Amino acid sequence: MALNNEGSNSIMVEAQLLEKYAELVLVKGINVQKEQAVVVSAPIEGADFARMLAKKAYELGAKNVHINWGDDELAKLKYEHASDEVIESYPDWQVQMMESFAEDGAAFVSIHATDPDLLQSIDSERVAAASKAAGVALKTFREYTMNDKVTWTVISIPTVAWAKKIFPEQAAEQAVESLWDEIIKMVRVDQEDPIGAWDAHNDLLEKAYKRLNDKQYIALHLKAPGTDLEIGLPKNHIWQGGAAVSEQGVVFNPNLPTEEVFTAPHKYKVNGTVSSTKPLNYGGNLIDEFQLTFKDGKVVDYKANQGEAVLKHLLEADEGASRIGEVALVPDESPVSQSGHIFYNTLFDENASCHIALGKAYPTNVKDGAEMNEAALDEHGVNDSMIHVDFMVGSVEMDIDGVLPDGTEEAVFRKGTWAFK
Ligand code: ZN
Ligand code: ZN
């Protein structure tokens, strides 16, 4: 599952489709309630869409809509010019703002649309220092989202730079339009009744995760070219997918789109080697064609054809960054996979392919996990970190076996899709 921030756009697709999308985000994404505050993190390039979201949120009864504007260009200027002291700190007032909205039970929409190459020219040490500072500062806030104490959703809209990365041969306007077309399809807004389509899709995901929950595999065995990895699963692990339920009992969709069912791996029981199958856009830098080797849950060896230094910083971000906190299964029939594009944006790419995440696990992926303290979570094998970075390992060549509690193995995935009938 993808976690948090950034992005942009210009309105060229039909206004009616955009209105349907905005409604989907508010009704199925955060499921906004009467008298609730809504916080939207939006790229400045997407001002029109952000305003449309705000208007609809008020119409649906929101008491206040606050927009956190983000701007790739300004972010880059800061990296180029600000002192180390500024880069290595995160403003208190921003932390307090997010925490106070969360305490008030606000809902959070994060529009994710960063230029994948934005920070290519910036020293990766500086980028790592800034994300570390944000990670530490936002620890308390992150617990609200990762434990579903509030409702939240991550979505995307096109920005010129991002769209040009996917459609380099097209002029800026055309590229943005092409990306809108793809997003509209992937979030099912091209369908007559997107909200009904999401209800049906959530039901399918629920069927898949319920079957896995009944199985209670003790491990999954992933096999593909360059991959032979055994992922132990914690006792009483819980598979989830599609809709989630907040502490207040509000049903919401944390990611739009989402095609995965996922659970927490056992942080001390991962062994073998795994190879990436798509590039990873991490904080404005690409890591590509990389391989990680695990022993007893920890990465003991790694290499990358592109972005190895960035990967090194990522793995060294903190103690938990070199262990995994998620394993997710996505069949190759997913509309994101079928689009045939690489989006350089985790929200989409992770929904095209089986993936695992370095860093923090969702405590809700083990029974009673949301109520456990750090020591209890560790004892149950649930990883902690200030990072959570998904990367893609699935392909049509991937087979996955599940190891039952009695040690026998059975097929879960064959050739990139469900082996279950
Ligand atoms: Zn995931
Ligand atoms: Zn994830």
Spatial contact of 6 and 114, defined as CB atoms under 8 Å apart: yes
Q: Does 11 have pLDDT greater than 80?
A: no
- Distance (Å, rounded) from C-alpha 165 to C-alpha 171? 11
pLDDT tens per residue across span 128-142? 899 889 999 999 999
Stretch (H or E) spanning 271: strand 270-275
The residue type of 318 is: D
Closest C-alpha to 175, from 183, 185, 184, 165: 165
What tokens does 289 get?
A: 């064609």
pTM (predicted TM-score): 0.85
Indicate which ligand has the atom closest to the C-alpha of 325.
Answer: 2
Q: Map out the domains of the chain with their CATH numbers.
A: 8-186 (3.40.1830.10), 217-418 (no CATH)
How many angstroms separate the alpha carbon of residue 263 from the centre of ligand 1? 9
How many angstroms separate the alpha carbon of residue 362 from the centre of ligand 2? 9
pLDDT tens per residue across span 191-235? 999 999 999 999 999 999 999 999 999 999 999 999 999 999 999
How many angstroms separate the alpha carbon of residue 123 from the centre of ligand 1? 28
How many angstroms separate the alpha carbon of residue 390 from the centre of ligand 1? 6
> 360 or 125: whose pLDDT is higher?
360
Q: Give the torsion through C-alpha atoms of 390, 393, 399, 404, to 10 deg.
A: -30
List of residues 6+ apart from 283 with CB closer than 8 A = 119, 127, 128, 130, 131, 310
